[in-house]
Amino acid sequence: MPCGTAPTRVSRWSRHACSSDRRQTFLVDPLNEVHLPPHRLSVAPMLEWTDRHCRYFLRQISRHALLYTEMVTTGAVLRGDRERLLGFDPAEKPLALQLGGSDPATLAESTRIAEAMNYDEVNLNVGCPSDRVQNGRFGACLMAEPKLVADCIAAMQAATRLPVTVKTRIGIDERDSYQELAHFVDTVALAGCNTFIIHARKAWLQGLSPKENREIPPLRYDVARQLKRDFPHLVIVLNGGIQNLAEARAHLEHFDGVMIGRAAYHDPYILAEADSQIFGDEHAVPTRHEILHTLLPYVERQLSQGVRLQSISRHILGLFHGTPGGRRWRRHISENAHKAGAGIDVLKRAEELCGPHG
């Protein structure tokens, strides 16, 4: 529901006004034509997956989907190799940096760095359930401390003009009532957060691995829909279990945006029609072969800078997924990209093995 439109249902939580200076970022083309906001469709931040090579590849498939970095901790931002951890090609934009942390001061400083590096958004991770993340006091365990999260968001907002967003679950352990979720969102929204990405599963902080936490807790889209009804003024983006654009379009009947995760990594070509179906961009849908050919100059540049082919090729194994030659493509790259001196000839030969129609 757009800002300024009277909600059809008013709850005790629906009382915040739309912020005049924390609105969603909109895409603008060179002709100043405004498109739908990028949160309409985004690709989830995924540790060890959505690095700069993965994001550049995905950008060849969709011009408009919002992309996210892997989660980067505030300690790594402030003390690590900044170019290696945060550097990106401008072609990857629109691009959001996901931060992991719970100290308002270091999150604020990390946010200032993100703005200086020309990111489009900063996202706070309040959804990762891994033991390592919990030990650092960030991720899903922060759902138990809504006031602390609000303090973090307030500090981040004060440090930047960029949108600051939160990615979270619908609950943790036994603290999974709707009232607790609504209280969390209400508290954080009062601190200035306008956009919440809701992974529609609870997280078990003890007893389940991160992988199991993505699969065992049941999806509760109904809970996320209730959240949108109770907070119509907030941007609510749905995440969790979305497999294709048909499902994404169906969810857009109820939410402001959808975020696709593993499905977009394992079968990236599902994003090929996103620009037309989700964003109304009528540019021709690229073929798999065209996507590969637009990627090859980037691969050559990276190889010339000392990057190993496998660091890039591992992200494109799914490009021909579901096609007659898909297995040959995947097998040839898997068997050859790791070898010393491997170059783009490996990719070209893999393409030949696919045949003209993939």
What is the overall mean pLDDT for the chain?
90
**Residues 196 and 146 grouped into a single domain:** yes
**Using 50, 70 and 90 to split pLDDT, how confident is the model at 19?**
very low
What burial class does residue 118 get, using C-beta atoms within 10 Å of its C-beta: 0-12 exposed, 13-18 middle, 19+ buried?
exposed
Given 235, 258, 277, the domain boundary residue is: 277
Q: Is a pLDDT exceeding 50 seen at residue 16?
A: no
List the single range of 61-70, 141-150, 198-207 with lowest mean pLDDT.
Answer: 198-207
Residue 23 lies in a domain: no
Given 231, 257, 277, the domain boundary residue is: 277
Residue 108 lies in a domain: yes
**Residues 271 and 144 grouped into a single domain:** yes
pTM of structure: 0.89
Q: Is a pLDDT exceeding 70 seen at residue 7?
A: no
Write the pLDDT tens digit of every residue in 167-196: 999 999 988 999 999 999 999 999 999 999
Given 277, 303, 318, the domain boundary residue is: 277
**Residues 188 and 295 grouped into a single domain:** no
**Using 50, 70 and 90 to split pLDDT, how confident is the model at 208?**
confident
Question: What CATH number is attached to the domain comprising 301?
Answer: 1.20.120.1460
Write the pLDDT tens digit of every residue in 72-81: 999 999 999 9
**Residues 218 and 112 grouped into a single domain:** yes
Residue 1 lies in a domain: no
**Residues 72 and 165 grouped into a single domain:** yes
**Using 50, 70 and 90 to split pLDDT, how confident is the model at 339?**
very high
Cα 7 to the chain's mean position, in Å? 28
**Residues 200 and 347 grouped into a single domain:** no
Q: Is a pLDDT exceeding 90 seen at residue 6?
A: no
**Residues 191 and 304 grouped into a single domain:** no
- Give long-range contacts, CB 8 A cutoff, 24+ apart: 16-19: 16/189, 16/190, 16/231, 16/233, 16/234, 17/233, 18/194, 18/233, 19/192, 19/194
- Per the CB < 8 A criterion, the answer to whether 165 and 239 are in contact is no
**Residues 309 and 328 grouped into a single domain:** yes
Please report the pLDDT score of residue 262 as a whole number: 96
Write the pLDDT tens digit of every residue in 218-240: 999 999 999 999 999 999 999 99
Please report the pLDDT score of residue 358 as a whole number: 63
Please report the pLDDT score of residue 36 as a whole number: 55
Please report the pLDDT score of residue 210 as a whole number: 78
Tell me if residue 128 is catalytic.
yes
Q: Is a pLDDT exceeding 80 seen at residue 11?
A: no
What are the start-end ranges of the E strands in 229-330? 235-239, 257-260
In DSSP notation, 58-94 reads HHTT-SSSEEEEEEEEHHHHHHS-HHHHH---GGG-S
Residue 315 lies in a domain: yes
- Per the CB < 8 A criterion, the answer to whether 315 and 57 are in contact is yes
> How many angstroms separate the CA atoms of 49 and 89, rounded?
17
Q: Which of the following is catalytic: 54, 128, 193, 354? A: 128
Q: Is a pLDDT exceeding 70 seen at residue 44?
A: yes
Residue 6 lies in a domain: no
Look-up of token digits 């200032």: 112
β-bridge mates for residue 238, sequence order:
198, 258
- In degrees, rounded to 5, the angle at the alpha carbon of residue 217 between the alpha carbons of residues 213 and 221 is 115
**What is the arithmetic mean of pLDDT over 55-73?**
98
Domain of residue 52 covers 38-277
**Residues 263 and 312 grouped into a single domain:** no
Write the pLDDT tens digit of every residue in 256-271: 999 999 999 999 999 9
- Structural tokens at position 297: 């100059």
**Residues 185 and 273 grouped into a single domain:** yes
> How many angstroms separate the CA atoms of 243 and 252, rounded?
14
Residue 12 lies in a domain: no
**Residues 191 and 309 grouped into a single domain:** no
**What is the arithmetic mean of pLDDT over 4-21?**
38
What SS3 state is found at 48?
A: coil
User: Domain total for the chain?
Assistant: 2
- Structural tokens at position 118: 């020309």
In 3-state terms the chain splits into helix, strand, coil percentages (rounded to 5) of: 40, 15, 45
**Residues 120 and 160 grouped into a single domain:** yes
Question: What CATH number is attached to the domain comprising 132?
Answer: 3.20.20.70
Residue 28 lies in a domain: no
β-bridge mates for residue 122, sequence order:
97, 164
Residue 262 lies in a domain: yes
Whose CA is closest to 222, among 198, 203, 245? 198
- In degrees, rounded to 5, the angle at the alpha carbon of residue 284 between the alpha carbons of residues 331 and 295 is 40
β-bridge mates for residue 259, sequence order:
42, 239
